[in-house]
């Protein structure tokens, strides 16, 4: 089993809390809901960081099933949805080219949020290939 560690500095936003309504240009009547500009900038930056780290670790464009352990370090203790944070990390990993598709992620065992840290960050440990256990 292979293992690679990644680090993203700063607070991870929850994608579902950062949505905006978009409208088509030139008088079109089409509208849709999409992540806002602040979230898209975070995802682009995080994806670039993950891409650079994956080049160093020779873990780019993994196509096998994977297992992630994601530890979030946050400043303030407040109500937060871990599954929304994980979705943001999934999207950043796909955008950064670390994995091909977020459907490859088979487990998030050990993922959690720790509060009371001055340096907000995310530590990601990626294991592959994931071996499924059946009864």
Whether 50 is in a domain gets the answer yes
First to last CA, the chain: 21
Domain that holds residue 94: 2-128
Whether 135 is in a domain gets the answer no
Whether 113 is in a domain gets the answer yes
**Inter-helix orientation angle 82-95/37-57, to 10°:** 60
CATH code: domain of residue 29: 3.30.1330.70
Whether 82 is in a domain gets the answer yes
**Tens place of pLDDT for every residue, the chain, 135 residues?**
899 999 999 999 998 888 888 888 776 788 889 989 999 999 999 999 999 999 998 888 899 999 999 999 999 888 889 999 999 999 999 999 999 999 999 999 999 999 999 999 999 999 998 877 666
Strand 105-107, strand 66-74: pairing: parallel
Whether 134 is in a domain gets the answer no
pLDDT on residue 29: 80
pLDDT on residue 134: 67
Find tokens 């949805």 and name the residue.
Answer: 81
Whether 133 is in a domain gets the answer no
Whether 92 is in a domain gets the answer yes
Domain count, the chain: 1
């Amino acid at each position: 089993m292979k293992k690679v560690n990644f680090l993203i500095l700063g607070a991870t936003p929850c994608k579902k809390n950062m949505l905006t309504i978009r409208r088509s240009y030139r008088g079109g009547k089409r509208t849709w809901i999409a992540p806002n500009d602040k979230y898209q900038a975070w995802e682009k930056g995080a994806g670039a960081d993950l891409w650079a780290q994956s080049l160093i670790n020779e873990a780019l464009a993994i196509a096998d099933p994977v297992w992630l352990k994601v530890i979030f370090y946050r400043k303030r203790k407040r109500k937060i949805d871990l599954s929304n944070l994980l979705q943001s990390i999934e999207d950043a990993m796909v955008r950064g080219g670390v994995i091909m598709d977020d459907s490859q992620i088979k487990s998030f065992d050990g993922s959690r949020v720790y509060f009371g840290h001055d340096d907000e960050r995310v530590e990601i440990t990626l294991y592959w290939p994931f071996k499924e256990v059946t009864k």
